[in-house]
Each structure stands twice: as structure tokens, then as C-alpha cells.
Chains A and B, each alone.
Chain A
Amino acid sequence: MKRHLISAADLTRDDALLILDTAAELAGVAARPIKKLPTLRGRTVVNLFFEDSTRTRISFEAAAKRLSADVINFSAKGSSVAKGESLKDTALTLEAMGADAVVIRHSASGAAHRLAEWVRGSVVNAGDGTHEHPTQALLDAFTIRQRLARQGAVPDGRDVPHDLRDAGPDGRGAALDGVRVTIVGDVLHGRVARSNVLLLSTLGAEVTLVAPPTLLPFAVGSWPCSVGYDLDAELPKSDVVMMLRVQQERMTAAYFPTIREYRRRYGLDAGRMALLPGHAIVMHPGPMNRGMEIAADVADSPRSTVVDQVANGVTVRMAVLYLLLGGAEAAS
């Protein structure tokens, strides 16, 4: 594995499987009364958040703490960054403090990439602008594998090289070959979709993006996925449907006419959910706009993996920190 995790494209299939399988191993920790391993004792993980994201920050914080790392939370608000300090100077400050890993969330695409040039520790991209959010993709892949394996669920008659049914109840060892994932919503501004397309295709899944054409990147044809505009046509073929958050301000920038029209064409309600095969799951990276891209009864249905995704987020991030910080050596 590379020293940093900046893009899902940094991960080979073996890297990705190693992370997922390590996460499956670590998942047991969450079930214990004392949810803590000594693995990263004495190591420092800095959560460098230039954008508010409580969900992602606490997920990384919990992951680092469960591995006994020292965690420093650095949020831009009220810090020297708010007073005009540059990313580079912040990086040099963290470097001087001896950060072993820096988890960065930033509004600018490429910020994690730049940071990695200025610090010696490992950089984990926790979302950079409209670029990527690779740990989200990893936790989504983990969740897909876990749920479909538990359900014994890839339908018969499909040519699936690594049949998830044979992989054991947590899917350990299996990739996602042949799994059909439909990602719906704002792909253009969405770092989650970008990372998921890269990672899921690396793992063998067949990804289809569904969105109004205005919310797809200009050259999406060159991505390792297919594209459709008709959600109803894609749902019956989907093992997984992943709904992305759509920000209402996109409407004012003429990406789509009204919320009502968006919901009608691209929202997932109970009626549409019924088009899915029986085993199919519904995902959402959160935070959800209930009643916008996803109806409340869909979000709360047994197909929904929203809560699993949050729990798996901690586990997968533990695996990432463990592997990047050479946890294996530290533990021995």
C-alpha cells in the first residue's frame, strides 16, 4: 500500500481487499465490552478539518481512539487558519508536533494531495472539495460485501467469480465481482461518487451512475462505469442502489428546475424501491435529505444500510489507520 490514502485510485484490488479484510477482523472489537486495542499507542493522529463534518470527524476520532492513538482535533474555525494561515504553514506546524497521520477534510480539491507534499506522516483524505472521499468508498464496499454475504444474496444464474455466498457470513476474502451498483444523484459535486466508482470498479462491481445530465461530469464517459438517466430502468437490475445527497442550492444554479421535479425523476420512494430485486440494498452516505432524494420510509426500511454504514465507517477507518501506520509492526 502507498503511504497515503488520497484517492481510491491509489488502491490496487489487493490493497482494497486487505483493508476490507482487516476491517472485518477489527469489527470484532466493536462488539467487545472494552472497545480498545493497544495497537497505535504512542502514535499521534491529527484530525485536520477545514470544513465542518461532525460525522466524518467523530468516525475518524473513534477509529483512532479504539486503536489507542493520541488524537488531536484541529478545526479551522477559531484557529490560526481562520486568521489567514496557509495550508502549508498549518502543515509545517503539524509536522513540528510530530503527527504520524493527518486526516484532512478541506473544501479545495487536491488539498490532501498538496498536504502530502509538506508532511512526513501519512495523509488520509477525508474529503477534498469535489474530488474524493476514499474512506467513504471503502466503508460502502465493506457494507455491500457484508450485507450481500449475510443475505447469501447474489441471485442465481449470474456469473459471479467470487460468489459472496461462499465467502462466509462477513464476506471476508471476497471482492465484489459482478455486483451491480447504481449510484444516483449529484455526481458532479460529489466526492463520494467519484471514489466509489473507482473503488467499486477496482473490486469488480459494475457501476452505473444515474443523474440529471447537468449533475454528471463533462467527460464521465471516460470513467469505469456506465451512465443512465432513467432510474426506473436501472433499479430492476441493481443489487445495490446508492442515493447521494442533493444540495438544494444546486437548484438555484439551474442544475435542475425544482425539488419537486428532482424528487419525481431521481428520488427513491417506496414505489420505486419495489422495482428493486428482493435482495437489493439501499445505501446513503448521509446526511440524508429525507423527502428529497430518499423518502423516509425507504431510509428506515430493512433494505436500508444507513446505520450499518456509520458503524462500518469506524471499523474501516481503524483498518486504514492500522495499515498506514504500520500497526502490524507496532503490535508485535
Chain B
Amino acid sequence: MYDPHIRINKWNVWYGSDHALVNITADIPAKGITTIIGPSGCGKTTLLKSMNRLLDEMAGTRVKGQVWLDGINIYDPGVDVTEVRTRVGFLAPKPFPLPMSIYDNVAYGPRIHRHTLNSRGGNDHDLDGIVENNLRAAGLWEEVKDRLRTSATRLSTGQQQRLCLARALAVEPDVLLCDEPTSALDPIAAQKIEAQLQALKKERTIVVVTHMLRQARRMADYVILLWMGELVETGPAMQVFVNPRDERTRAYLDGDIG
């Protein structure tokens, strides 16, 4: 058995009248990589965005159920949404650098969370150090260390994605949500991102949405398989991939459906 970091309990999401997620109950174990897989439109991204309340920003959504993070239901009325998003980082499918320099992109989070980070024993005086460490953690430091003050838009797409990773890490999240993090990248850039995530999973809980089954097989420690908004199967990757319990899982893995 494993120790859950995020518990999703009877979770429902509606977009208008469209019931996008139906009664999902699943655990995301602490540390390691959990992949959410399933055919397009099955609610993978919706489930991911439920975990840092980015759903709040979309018009016409309605939710029911609980998402527990370290024993706190993040949908409780008293919960500060910015606090949730500080602890749960997010990497989007397409890199969107902020309209500022490479340095300022990474420093953006630490600057707005100066007080929170300080109270957790961080040190904002060493912004240079924070920027360097996180660019290293994202595997981008060597490529940009001489041009930190240039615009982030001058980087290639693959570099921009690693910059977005560094930017997310700079807030020191315990959980990192990745929404098809390599789908906009060429194979080499994609491989670099995968390698960085593999290195990061020792320290952090990582959740990766992917529509690429091969990527899931390469990366996953745990798997959540969704089908038309419903949970089909969840468990350790070995078990789900090698010995699936549900007939639909077997069909999806064999490429018969989806």
C-alpha cells in the first residue's frame, strides 16, 4: 500500500449541462509519477485542473465532491485558492512564457510569494540563487546562463517549456501537475522534459496527463485510466499495464478502443 498525497472523493464536474467527470474516486500517491490516461475528451485535463482549482477560472463550471490535499479539502469555502496553487504547480501543454525576461519569469513566483516562502524557511534575498537552482532543476541553466536578462520569447519552444517548468518549480510546490507537457515539442525537447520529470519525482508528487500510451508506459509509477468522464481503473503502473482488471483497460491498452 502507498501513502496518498491527494485523495479525490466522489468528484463530479459539469460544464454547463455537460457532465464531464462522474463520481471519480482516486488516490494520488506521494512522490513518483501518476499518469492520467484515456482517449481524447475523457476528462483528463478536467481532472488535472481540479487539483489546483484552475477549473475556477473557466466559465460555467460546477463541481461536487472533495479533493483532499494533505488532509484539507481544497474546495472548502475557507481555503485560499492562491495558497493551493502555490503548493500545486502546473505545467501547460503549450509553453506560455510571461512577457518579461528569462530571469523575471523564474523570479515571478518567488516575488509574489515572498512572505509565504520566507515563513517556510526560504530566503528571498538570494533571488539569483533561486533562479539558478530552478533553471538547473529544469535542465535549462547551461543554455541560458549568459542571457538571463533577454526576453523569454527568444527561446525555442522546447527551452520555453523547460523555462515554464523552472518557473513552476521556483514556487516550491509539493505537487506538480503536467498537462500533456510534451505534446507541443519535438522528440528531443520532449525527451529532455521527460528526463527532468523523472529526476524530480524523487522529491515531489508528479501528475502527468498524456494521450500517448508509450509515454505513460515509460514514465508512470501509478496510473489512472478515464473513459468518457468515468474512472475505469487505477493502481500501480505494473499492475494496470500488465494485469488490468477491467475489460476496457485491456482494450484501450491493446489499441482496440480510443
Q: Do A and B come from one complex?
A: no
Q: Which A residues are closer than 8 A to B by beta carbons?
A: none
Q: Which B residues are closer than 8 A to A by beta carbons?
A: none
